[in-house]
Chains A and B, each alone.
Chain A
Amino acid sequence: MSIDIRNVYRRFGDFTALDNVSLEVRTGELLALLGPSGGGKTTLLRVIAGLETVDSGQVLFHGEDSTDRHVRDRQVGFVFQHYALFRHMTIFENVAFGLRVRPRAQRPGEAQIRRKVHELLELVQLDWLADRYPHQLSGGQRQRIALARALAVEPSVLLLDEPFGALDAKVRKELRRWLRRLHDEMHITSVFVTHDQDEALEVADRVVVMNEGRIEQIGSPQEVYDHPATPFVYQFLGNVNLFHGRVQDGHAMIGPVAVPVAGMADSASAIAFARPHEIEIIRPAPGETGIAARVEHVLAVGSTVRIDLEPDGGAAAIHAEVSRSELRELGLVTGDRVLVRPRQVKVFEAA
């Protein structure tokens, strides 16, 4: 089922949660809504679910206007950050809930419910917990049960609100891989909200980056990471170095380093971004240009080496990542004077 969101606005008092948001969710894809908290991503998810109303705009399910349709009739599965399991029911009854509340004519028989629930519990690999109560389960187990409960009603769309947000790092990683595998098996149109860029980039088919109620960029994980459309996306996704400069003769001057830019007026101020692995460090030599800096700290832990550099003139620290072999060749130690230049850089006009 495809979802089409058209020009949706939603305000809470003075706060604009959704500011003219349009988005198409394609049938069968796993889409991530990524952004800082307060960026509007949870509101958007709740609007899709029908748990939140819109001030204006439309939500179409499979081309059909569903803006005013009640949550109950939308056939969405919703997974909450804090699980929202029914405490007084066993795990079995939690999963069976959606089947038991169906109108009598559509309600499956007891044997059928039993079979279906056990099928789902097996799918989430927790069949052995059927007779327990939610408070006897770990966070990761609870969230898998919440997912099984949402799938029991055979929803046409699965919506997950920060599904792994309340879990510790290790369980998070396991669960997100598991979710990806599950989606590959079931191909149910899914949207999940996260503020964790790793999670979004690793799990999703497409990522929607949101900030202050607006969509900043939509694209595959690779697209948004390698070609950020806005300074916000650049800064939000991964570590990044920020340089201030000025445009001269079609080049942005970042210190002594000139980067060709197109379509920017002379003497406009520019900001440039380069990721740590795009930073090149060289020893000062005649004829070489670069930002003069001093090595502050060398951290050789893991497969890459992180180097903190302090540029002359008091600009913000520069972070670089080099391979271990590069470090051996350079032989850098704290206090060395070096030249720094971005190998690759993306320039935006400063606001």
Chain B
Amino acid sequence: MNLSLRRHSVLPGFGLSLGVTVLYLSLIVLVPLSAAFIKTASLNWVAFVAAVTSPRVLASYRLTFGASFLAAVINAVFGLLVAWVLVRYRFPGRRVIDAMVDLPFALPTAVAGIALAALYATNGWIGQLLAPAGIKVAFTPLGVLVALIFIGLPFVVRTVQPVLEDLQPELEEAAATLGANRIQTFRRVIFPAVLPALLTGFALAFARAIGEYGSVIFIAGNMPMVSEITPLLIITKLEQYDYAGATALAVVMLSISFLLLLLINLLQAWMRKASGQ
């Protein structure tokens, strides 16, 4: 162990706490993940490539990552708005709404999926309003998007909210005395201040959406090549006892997710550096 890592501190225990951390992360995260990689290794390269690049699988990547990205973007916009309203305004029922934001965290995702499917089906409350306009939500890729928006919202709200709460009102007042209008104040003063938190929320919502299974399968219809998500393909393969094929897909998903999250982290680090913090 490099001793220069150890700084004097009133709370000693660097060695012990790092040791426990590494052991814990290994047991909880690293060992299960590496098991997926090891299982995949039972396939040879040709079989692996064939398993992870079949047209049906490629279509599922597009849907999973595309819908997750879009859902995270939509959540970033509206999550910011929800957080803003909750922090800035005092109105009756604010606490109730504040508590409701967490519901998608707590609700079993299957329940959410069934509820959404019932609502958006062509004879459901919302679905029958959309049907005359020719918009079908349930059992289409659009349904996948709706489910992913639902489960991702709290991530954005809960990461942005504390940052907005810490934002001094004086900053906006200063901008106003300097002649900035509302749009300029938001764009030049408030938005840059919340952007790092917003990106974190975006990344969390995005990651959560990629891994989402329970709510999606009830509303997606799961038509191959159209509305089938990668996690569902993995389950399908498992049910066919194709364990190696299932883990191969899992490895690809893991790798892509890891790369995307790494990219977002690098972007945040770059932004911090650019603002000198």
Distance between B55 CB and nearest chain A CB, rounded to angstroms: 46
Please indicate the chain A residues that have their CB under 8 angstroms from the CB of B171 in the complex: 84, 86
A88 at the interface (CB under 8 A from B): yes
A76-B177, A101-B179 known; A82-B184 Cβ under 8 A: no
Whole-angstrom CA separation of A86 from B170 in the bound complex: 10
A49, A101, A133, A149: which contacts B276 (Cβ < 8 A)?
A133
Asked if B173 and A153 make an inter-chain contact with CB atoms under 8 angstroms apart, the answer reads no
Asked if A71 and B177 make an inter-chain contact with CB atoms under 8 angstroms apart, the answer reads yes
- Residue total for B at the interface (Cβ-Cβ under 8 A): 20
* Minimum CB distance partner of A78 in chain B: B177
Tell which of B171, B180, B193, B276 has the most Cβ of chain A within 10 Å: B276
Asked if B178 and A97 make an inter-chain contact with CB atoms under 8 angstroms apart, the answer reads yes
Asked if A82 and B178 make an inter-chain contact with CB atoms under 8 angstroms apart, the answer reads no
Asked if B177 and A77 make an inter-chain contact with CB atoms under 8 angstroms apart, the answer reads yes
Asked if A132 and B170 make an inter-chain contact with CB atoms under 8 angstroms apart, the answer reads no
Whole-angstrom CA separation of A132 from B276 in the bound complex: 8
Asked if A78 and B168 make an inter-chain contact with CB atoms under 8 angstroms apart, the answer reads no
A87 at the interface (CB under 8 A from B): yes
Whole-angstrom CA separation of A135 from B181 in the bound complex: 26
> How would residues 327 to 338 of chain A score, 1 for a CB under 8 Å from any chain B CB and 0 otherwise?
000000000000
A102 at the interface (CB under 8 A from B): yes
> How would residues 172 to 211 of chain B score, 1 for a CB under 8 Å from any chain A CB and 0 otherwise?
0111111111001000110011000000000000000000
Asked if A72 and B180 make an inter-chain contact with CB atoms under 8 angstroms apart, the answer reads yes
* Minimum CB distance partner of B276 in chain A: A133
* Minimum CB distance partner of B184 in chain A: A101
Please indicate the chain A residues that have their CB under 8 angstroms from the CB of B168 in the complex: 82, 84
Asked if A71 and B173 make an inter-chain contact with CB atoms under 8 angstroms apart, the answer reads yes
Please indicate the chain A residues that have their CB under 8 angstroms from the CB of B175 in the complex: 86, 97, 101
Asked if A90 and B181 make an inter-chain contact with CB atoms under 8 angstroms apart, the answer reads no
Please indicate the chain B residues that have their CB under 8 angstroms from the CB of A78 in the complex: 173-174, 177
B2 at the interface (CB under 8 A from A): no
Distance between A190 CB and nearest chain B CB, rounded to angstroms: 14
Interface of B is mostly: helix
- Residue total for A at the interface (Cβ-Cβ under 8 A): 30
B44 at the interface (CB under 8 A from A): no
Tell which of A70, A88, A133 has the most Cβ of chain B within 10 Å: A88
Whole-angstrom CA separation of A88 from B274 in the bound complex: 8
Whole-angstrom CA separation of A134 from B66 in the bound complex: 40
Distance between A181 CB and nearest chain B CB, rounded to angstroms: 24
Whole-angstrom CA separation of A102 from B181 in the bound complex: 9
Whole-angstrom CA separation of A97 from B184 in the bound complex: 10
A133-B277, A135-B277, A136-B276 known; A87-B179 Cβ under 8 A: no
A51 at the interface (CB under 8 A from B): yes
B275 at the interface (CB under 8 A from A): yes
A293 at the interface (CB under 8 A from B): no
Please indicate the chain B residues that have their CB under 8 angstroms from the CB of A76 in the complex: 177
Distance between A155 CB and nearest chain B CB, rounded to angstroms: 8
* Minimum CB distance partner of B271 in chain A: A88
Please indicate the chain A residues that have their CB under 8 angstroms from the CB of B275 in the complex: 87-89, 133
Distance between B198 CB and nearest chain A CB, rounded to angstroms: 13
Please indicate the chain B residues that have their CB under 8 angstroms from the CB of A100 in the complex: 188
Asked if B179 and A80 make an inter-chain contact with CB atoms under 8 angstroms apart, the answer reads no
Asked if B177 and A49 make an inter-chain contact with CB atoms under 8 angstroms apart, the answer reads yes
* Minimum CB distance partner of B183 in chain A: A101
Which chain A residues (65-106) contact chain B, with CB distance < 8 Å? 70-72, 74, 76-78, 80, 82, 84, 86-90, 97-98, 100-102
Asked if B276 and A102 make an inter-chain contact with CB atoms under 8 angstroms apart, the answer reads no
Please indicate the chain A residues that have their CB under 8 angstroms from the CB of B192 in the complex: 86, 88-89
Whole-angstrom CA separation of A2 from B171 in the bound complex: 27
Whole-angstrom CA separation of A80 from B173 in the bound complex: 9
Whole-angstrom CA separation of A84 from B185 in the bound complex: 13
A88-B192, A98-B178, A102-B179 known; A82-B170 Cβ under 8 A: yes
Can you spell out 11 A-B residue pairs with CB atoms less than 8 angstroms apart?
Answer: A51-B173, A51-B176, A74-B177, A78-B177, A84-B170, A86-B188, A97-B188, A98-B178, A98-B179, A135-B276, A149-B178
6 closest Cβ pairs, A-B complex: A133-B276, A98-B178, A84-B170, A101-B180, A78-B177, A84-B174
> Which residues on B are within 8 Å of A, measured CB to CB?
168, 170-171, 173-181, 184, 188-189, 192-193, 275-277
Q: List 11 other contacts, CB 8 Å, given A78-B177, A84-B173, A100-B188.
A: A49-B177, A71-B176, A72-B177, A82-B170, A84-B171, A87-B275, A89-B192, A101-B175, A101-B178, A101-B179, A133-B277
